Amino acid sequence: MMEVMSIRTSVRNGMQYAAKRAAEDCYLTQMVSPSALEADIVRAIGSERLERSIVVNGSSGISCQNSRMSMLTGILEMEVTYQVKLPIPVFAAKSVHMKETMRMKGWNGYQSAFWDKEDNETVYITETGMVYHRDYHCNYLELSIRTVNAGTVDDLRNNDQEKYHPCDRCVHGSAASQVYLTDYGNRYHNSLSCSGLKRTVYAIPVSEAVGKGACTKCSK
């Protein structure tokens, strides 16, 4: 399991490197080459490291075929898939499928001619949010993090009167003596660096917010 976590961390670091290179090239062309992404990830991790790792087929086992870049927003949606070998077959399976995802905005500047159109109102979204926001300063986008004693969490409610539940990303087992929570979130966290306490906000035209509803707090 430690080796699996090490490989996942290495792949994520390689994705950061590859995504930044793709973002730099975005001003030339708003297209992404899966093979170029794969080569950059392998370069960042090290082909020798991959060849002697538990990744099936080593450096050639890294696939970015489902990665794409939006022609309208320049947002790169990277998806990396690979297989890792299991030391002991589980239900006759000798390997397990792994997938890592990441989004990054291409460095192509601000296109005011497109964004200023009346029928393409600018709205704001997060990586995992299910709604879009019309106000960049919406409370759901600007997190107000505070520290509380773990023993008091069950009695606390957020500003929407919801109970707080353990974060499935950073609370494994018992909570720490001091935990972190926000005014509008419904999770408490053991780690201040948890991704659940971070917001990456993207400005997009409302026509790109397909499948997302309007935030009830800032879209009234």
Digit-coded pLDDT (tens) for 154-176: 999 998 899 999 999 899 888 89
* pLDDT tens figures, 132-153: 999 888 878 877 888 999 999 9
Q: Which residue has the tokens 């659940």?
A: 196
User: Of the candidates 140, 193, 186, 191, which has an alpha carbon nearest to the alpha carbon of residue 165?
Assistant: 186
Question: Between the ranges 80-89, 104-113, 116-125, where is the mean pLDDT highest?
Answer: 80-89
What does the alpha-carbon distance between residue 11 and residue 81 come to, in Å, rounded to a whole number?
Answer: 10
> If pLDDT is split at 50, 70 and 90, which confidence band does 81 have?
very high
What global pTM score does this model have? 0.49
Of the candidates 126, 102, 107, which has an alpha carbon nearest to the alpha carbon of residue 24? Answer: 107
